[in-house]
Amino acid sequence: AQSVTQPDIHITVSEGASLELRCNYSYGATPYLFWYVQSPGQGLQLLLKYFSGDTLVQGIKGFEAEFKRSQSSFNLRKPSVHWSDAAEYFCAVGARGFQKLVFGTGTRLLVSP
């Protein structure tokens, strides 16, 4: 069975600074990897996903993530954070076939002025 670890519960970043959120996964084969964002009172929105091919994936809102098989990681990055990026971010891993997503515990991003 697959699993996901997001080691950082909270991260505070200054507006305009760069961001990296960590995600480590466990799965026996090549996983399907996702990053979702959840703003207060709202459902989850997909930022980006990785299935195969180019290991650097571009998403919405200026986010990108890099799949590193050797490190079992799929870290999310953004070069310049905006105050509106403050939210909770979830990494998820899926498997082939019927899509059962397993989510990490999330990282809450706080943006300071």
Residue from 44, 73, 75, 86 in contact with other proteins (CB under 8 A): 44
**70 touches other proteins by CB under 8 A:** no
Q: DSSP letters of 33-80?
A: EEEEEE-TTS-EEEEEEE-SS-SEEE-GGG-EEEEEGGGTEEEEEESS
**DSSP assignment letter at 31:** P
**40 touches other proteins by CB under 8 A:** no
Residue nearer to other proteins on the CB measure, 17 or 110: 110
Interface size with other proteins, residues (CB under 8 A):
26
**106 touches other proteins by CB under 8 A:** yes
